[in-house]
Structure 1
Amino acid sequence: MAEKRSRASWSLDFVNKTFLNACIKELTSNGWEGSGLKSTSWNIIVEKLKKEHDFVVDKKQMKYRYDYLKSKYVVWLKLKNKTENLYNPVTNMFQMTDVEWKAEAKLNKMVEKLRNTPLLYPDLCTRLFDGATSTDAASW
């Protein structure tokens, strides 16, 4: 019988920062495979997280985190580029009314994730995901 994999907790900011930096490095060195990193790149990132932070995840968990951050980045970028939104780059938060939040949440459920929690390391996410995501109106 297969052993159940433990759930990865990405709550530590420095683990996320290492993950994003490692993804950027692998993308720069080895390029894309489909819509994500190459299989060899994922193996390198697994080892880096284990070595630097004793953070043990498998490739599937990392791909899930990558996809989650990418989805959150796409929503963040759309909100940030809207002229009527008040984005504060110091706090990396959006200042919108409840009505505006609800209207945006109807378009994409990921919007709620940004209401109280900012996108981690927006500069790193931009370097990693910019050009790899579709941000036009049809992408939602």
Structure 2
Amino acid sequence: MSDNKDSKNDKEKGELGFFKTFVKKLYDEDPISETSIDLMISVEDEDVQSIFYSSLKNICDHKIIAENTEEPRCLSIKYCDMGGFLITVRNRFFHNLNDKGKNLEGSSIVDSDLLFSLINKQGLQWISTIFLGVISYNLSQFQQNSSR
């Protein structure tokens, strides 16, 4: 008999897994897949900057961090892994997942609005490129099918 929690986790892993595979397929053989998204952590207070950098890096799997990373000013995420990063940030802040040491808790990150302002623009630009890639693919498929 399966636990309801286990089947929910399997479903989430499946959805996230599908999304990651979709992004990798979308950018297969595209040079953009070799780039990264640089999250510039530029705030006036150096202590807050360090807290933001450490908090974000702490929730990342080390495999998604690109070489452009420069502590504590820039957290660089591999392009095709940005979606997983955004989902992780969301889950670790809003859902406080089981691993308490890796959650983004409001009390420890000082100013959540400021933290998200550093992520949101880059995240939305990345999501927009995914959306445009899907539209472009669908248009090319439509053109191929209508020319037959």
Do Structure 1 and Structure 2 share a fold, with TM-score over 0.5?
no
Could you state the TM-score of these two structures normalised by the residue count of structure 2? 0.25
User: In proportion to residue count, which structure has more helix?
Assistant: 2
Rg larger in structure: 2
Could you state the TM-score of these two structures normalised by the residue count of structure 1? 0.26
